[in-house]
Amino acid sequence: MRCEVVAIGTELLLGQIVDTNSSWLGEQLALAGIDSHFQTKVGDNHGRIVASLRLALSRSDAVIVCGGLGPTQDDITREAIAEVMGVSLVRHPEIGDRIRARFEARGRRMPENNLRQADVPTGASIIAEMPGTAPGLVCPVGAQVIYAVPGVPYELKEMFEGTILADLRRRAGLRWVIRSRVLRTWGESESGLAETLGGRIEELDRLGNPTLAFLASGIEGIKVRVTAKAADAEAAEALLAEEEAGLRERLGDLVFAVDDDNMEATIVALLGARGLRIALAEAVTGGLMSARLSAVPGSERVLAGAVTVPNEDAAEAIGASGGIGGATAASALAQAARARFAADIGLANAVAQSADEEARGTTHLGLATATGARSEMVHLPGDRTRVRQYAVISLLNLLRLDLLGETGADGRPACR
């Protein structure tokens, strides 16, 4: 079974929107054991969309078309698919009623052009999942099939996971189950992880199942993805669990989360389990750290408070007299934040002390507890935005290691 992805939208070609849908679909198809050899982007032009679909069908068994299902004049995916199928569009009143009901539920009037979304190529069926106003379509073209889904990522994902994947598996006659698990790591490079796991990777290459892959994810660290294939889900999950245990033994505290969990979710869980509260003083990150923590459900129980500290006057206002630059300032800011919000732990970041330090992306991280305050200096890559993002996860990882009472990946104390 070969499945191709065609993304519709002139904005994709102009670079105004990044096409994350195609990359996500490519990953899901690979995990399902379905070959995907081509991905195409095409603008909002009827003739070029038709040509792209015909080309895709000439070399693939199935095509997933993303986008162009909206209500406006440039949403022409339905018309293009109908031409490829050699049929006309038929309006489905029940779909129009569902769209109208969505508008009315929000106290809004539905523009009449939204009824275009109720037009369906003759012979096509509607995908059951409909999280937005645009219905997805399953469109048979002889023995082949075109799936049409909205370009809105969460709508696309719900339709793929709810209907398309199962239909693709049925058409492909796949009788095995493929599952994956992602271990998220921080503190080591991709090449360093590959070196640490080199022996196991060679062993798995010989066995063929499960498999390992590295996914560099910037400020979210390096992901180690384990993929297992088995006769049923239970057997696949058992393979994943066994491999995860072995990887954790090899990687130790480099692993901070699994699958969709992130560093802040891990921190909230650790603090919650210990009944601890933290306070933040952000000189480098300007509220970014508190924003990320606040996005985690339950964070209100562990985050006592946070302040941004853009200058020395702000530092003095919260009781830190050492300014906002250097290791001493980082410790003092962490202590001041802890005291100001009566928290168990204070976290802070301080700026570089000199132009040379700043050029190297130097940031000072501070952590204060009932036993005292400590700091660590890190050199972070990238521009101002990336340095701020890296500073968040670096400081949270420092706290994670301290909460676990473990040393860092290099054998040094977690905080010093």
Average pLDDT over residues 100-125: 90
* E strand or H helix at 119: strand 119-121
Question: Is 344 buried (19+), middle (13-18) or exposed (0-12) by CB count in 10 A?
Answer: middle
Given a cut of 50, is residue 221 above it in pLDDT? yes
Q: Which domain holds residue 216?
A: 177-258
Average pLDDT over residues 289-306: 95
Average pLDDT over residues 197-207: 90
Please tell me whether residues 123 and 90 are part of one structural domain. yes
The domain boundary residue, chosen from 143, 172, 201: 172
Please tell me whether residues 27 and 74 are part of one structural domain. yes
Q: Provide the pLDDT for residue 133.
A: 87
User: What CATH code is carried by the domain that includes residue 144?
Assistant: 3.40.980.10
Q: Provide the pLDDT for residue 413.
A: 38
236 pLDDT band (50/70/90 cuts)?
A: very high
Name the pTM for this structure. 0.74
Please tell me whether residues 142 and 186 are part of one structural domain. no
Q: Provide the pLDDT for residue 409.
A: 39
Please tell me whether residues 186 and 99 are part of one structural domain. no
Average pLDDT over residues 182-192: 92
pLDDT > 70: what percent of the chain?
A: 97
pLDDT > 90: what percent of the chain?
A: 74
Q: What is the pLDDT of residues 302-356, one digit of tens each?
A: 999 999 999 999 999 999 988 899 999 999 999 999 999 999 999 999 998 787 7
Given a cut of 80, is residue 96 above it in pLDDT? yes
Average pLDDT over residues 124-131: 94
HEC assignment per residue over 246-297 = HHHHHHHHHEEEECCCCHHHHHHHHHHHHCCCEEEEECCCCCHHHHHHHCCC
Q: Provide the pLDDT for residue 137.
A: 97
409 falls within a domain:
no
Given a cut of 90, is residue 76 above it in pLDDT? yes
Given a cut of 50, is residue 412 above it in pLDDT? no
The mean of the pLDDT values for the chain is 91
Question: For residues 215-253, b (16+ Cβ closer than 10 Å) or e, as one string?
Answer: eeeebbbbbbbbbbbbeeeeebeebbeebbeebeeebeb
147 falls within a domain:
yes
The domain boundary residue, chosen from 224, 258, 292: 258
- Count of structural domains, the chain: 3
